[in-house]
Amino acid sequence: MKEKVLVTRSSMPQLEEYIEEISDIWETHWLTNMGSKHKKLQEELREYLGIENIELLTNGHMALELSMQAMNLKGEVITTPFTFASTTHAIVRNGLTPVFCDINPIDFTIDTSKIEALITDKTCAIIPVHVYGNICNVEEIERIAKKYGLKVIYDAAHTFGVRYKNNCIGSYGDASCFSFHATKVFNTIEGGAVCYKDLDFGKALYRLKNFGIKDQETVDGVGANAKMNEFCAAMGLCNLKHIDEEINKRKQVVERYRSHLLGVEGIQLNPIQKDVTPNYSYFPIIINEKVFGSTRNEVFERLASEGIVARKYFYPLTNTFDCFHGQFDSSLTPIALHISKRVLTLPLYADLNLECVDNICKIILSMKNNKILD
């Protein structure tokens, strides 16, 4: 049977490289709780990203949850529903109320022209998402946040290595939360990090990731456990050595997709953003069925029948999730609703064969003008 092509595949170092990196753990028996690999990875990331403050955590979700907690946020938070469950769940799990702002139809990030109308006297923060590695309008968000005295926490789960005007994307806002999950451009198996400016916030975050423990006899916060362990940090140290090469390989894949799909009527591609150094983390396409002649779901099914497992990231919108029992009205975010019904994220990873990309595009293009819809 032909091997399936999945939406992504984790990047891994050579086995020998990882074994070498973890071998001293068998001498030290130091497995977790901010050990030497944790410290080394933190240092190396600081240098690689060109950022002053970074805290490592167990995953991107805890990065979000604990960042909100460390800021002691209360009330309403403006965010978008076109994202992974994590963003909205982190808000709700902090006892905060998400107020959903629509996205813009070009890069699918928060539509900054619609933020101010959603601000009330209960609004405490804006939590925008750099979705697919596309960066939000950070300058406009900063202007609004300053004007209304709001905190800004970016969900930067997709944006490892992305730079804007040559600055690390993590240097914008009060905090930026990265995911180092297995499916991400840079992975530590499971992992995450927060880049931040305020040192007091950093101290609070550090405590929260370690049960609120200040020292062996003082616990001054009700913390969680979100410490990155040494095996995850070791994976990060190995993967970081190859990250530029990995991103470059992803670039080749993206360029191959674009060479086939750019300009095809009824297919919208992810934009190339001005002044942005991208990381090529996802390859979403938006299928306008009326022009293309097949729906997103038909293309999804057809690819699946050929063993190609694309994904509908991000469908359904988080404001339609069953767990919220109809609490939110997705018709108030019409662009997000429209895009979520038409988006398909195609397979993308560093070692994806370029002939495979040709084949995926051939299948998609064979579905053009399948039928004319009214």
Is 91 in contact with 68 (CB distance < 8 Å)?
yes
Helix (H, G, I), strand (E, B) or coil at 43: helix
Options 22, 182, 213, 224; binder of ligand T4K; rule CB under 6 A: 182
- Applying CB under 6 A, which of residues 67, 83, 112, 279 lies at the interface with ligand T4K? 83
Note whether 224 binds ligand T4K by CB under 6 A. no
335 is a contact residue toward ligand T4K (CB under 6 A): no
**Segment 19-78, which members bind ligand T4K (CB under 6 A)?**
59-61
Which of 80, 86, 176, 295 is the binder for ligand T4K (CB under 6 A)? 86
Does 9 sit near ligand T4K (CB under 6 A)? yes
Beta strands 167-168 and 163-164, pairing class: antiparallel
**Rule CB under 6 A: which of 302-321 touch ligand T4K?**
313
Count of C-beta atoms within a 10 Å radius of residue 127 = 29
Name beta bridge partners: 57.
Answer: 192
176 forms part of the interface with ligand T4K (CB under 6 A): no
The 119-158 contact track toward ligand T4K, x by CB under 6 A, reads ----------x-------------------------x-xx
User: Is residue 229 part of the contact set for ligand T4K (CB under 6 A)?
Assistant: no
Tokens of 221: 């916060």
Instruction: Considering the complex, state which of residue 55 and residue 155 has its C-beta at the smaller distance from ligand T4K.
Output: 155
Question: Do the Cβ atoms of 164 and 276 come closer than 8 Å?
Answer: yes
For residues 113 and 105, give the distance between their C-alpha atoms in angstroms, rounded to a whole number. 13
| Separation between Cα atoms, residue 200 and residue 63, nearest integer Å | 16
Q: Residue 90 or 289: which CB sits closer to ligand T4K?
A: 90
Is residue 239 part of the contact set for ligand T4K (CB under 6 A)?
A: no
Backbone angles phi, psi at 342, to 5 degrees: -120, -5
Name residue, tokens 């927060």: 194
Q: Which is nearer to ligand T4K, 182 or 213 (CB)?
A: 182
Q: Vertex 79, ends 146 and 103: CA angle to 5°?
A: 105
Q: Tell me how far, at minimum, the Cβ of 314 lies from ligand T4K, in Å.
A: 8
Say how far apart CA 205 and CA 184 lie, in whole Å. 23
Give the pair of three-digit tokens for residue 2. Answer: 């032909």
Exposure string for 146-164, b = 16+ CB within 10 A, e = fewer: eeeebbbbbbbbbbbbbbb
# residues contacting ligand T4K (CB under 6 A): 22
CA dist 181 and 242 (Å) reads: 16
Least distance to ligand T4K, CB of residue 58, Å: 8
Task: Rank residues 150 and 156 by Cβ distance to ligand T4K and give the closer one.
Answer: 156
Exactly one of 53, 79, 87, 159 binds ligand T4K (CB under 6 A); that residue is: 87
CA distance 130 to 153: 11
Q: Based on CB atoms, which residue is closest to ligand T4K, 10 or 277?
A: 10
Q: Which residue is nearest to ligand T4K (CB)?
A: 60
Q: How far is the CB of 59 from ligand T4K (least distance, A)?
A: 3
Residue ranges binding ligand T4K (CB under 6 A): 6-10, 59-61, 83-84, 86-87, 129, 155, 157-158, 179, 181-183, 192, 313
